[in-house]
A and B are shown apart, each in its own frame.
Chain A
Amino acid sequence: MKVFSISVDSVYVHKMWNDHELSKMLDGKDIPFPMLSDQNGNIGRLYGVYDEESGAETRGRFLIDPDGIVQAFEVMTPPVGRNVQETLRQIRAFQYVREHKGTEVTPAGWRPGNPTLKPGPGLVGNVWKEWNPKQNLKD
Chain B
Amino acid sequence: MKEFGPGCQRPKGQPRPVVETEVVQEVKKGDERKMIQVGKPAPLFSAPAFYQGKFVEVDLEEFKGNWMMLCFYPGDFTFV
User: Footprint of B on A, CB under 8 Å?
Assistant: 1-18, 21, 30-40, 42-49, 54, 56-66, 68-73, 78-82, 87, 91, 94-95
Q: How far is the CA of A12 from the CA of B1 in the complex (A)?
A: 17
* Pairwise interchain contact A36-B49, C-beta atoms closer than 8 A: yes
CB neighbours (8 Å) of A14 from chain B are: 49-50, 76
* Pairwise interchain contact A62-B6, C-beta atoms closer than 8 A: no
| B75 adjacent to chain A (CB < 8 Å) | yes
Number of residues of chain B lying within 8 A (CB) of chain A: 51
Would you call the interface of chain B mostly helix, strand, loop, or mixed? loop
* Pairwise interchain contact B70-A47, C-beta atoms closer than 8 A: yes
* Pairwise interchain contact B77-A21, C-beta atoms closer than 8 A: yes
Q: How far is the CA of A66 from the CA of B75 in the complex (A)?
A: 28
* Pairwise interchain contact A60-B77, C-beta atoms closer than 8 A: no
Chain A to chain B: the 9 pairs with minimum beta-carbon distance, closest first:
A14-B50, A34-B49, A17-B76, A34-B51, A60-B72, A57-B72, A64-B68, A81-B80, A9-B76
A2 to chain B, nearest CB (A): 5
12 A-B pairs whose Cβ atoms sit less than 8 Å apart in the complex:
A3-B71, A37-B49, A43-B13, A46-B19, A47-B36, A47-B72, A49-B72, A61-B70, A63-B67, A65-B67, A80-B80, A87-B69
* Pairwise interchain contact B38-A6, C-beta atoms closer than 8 A: no
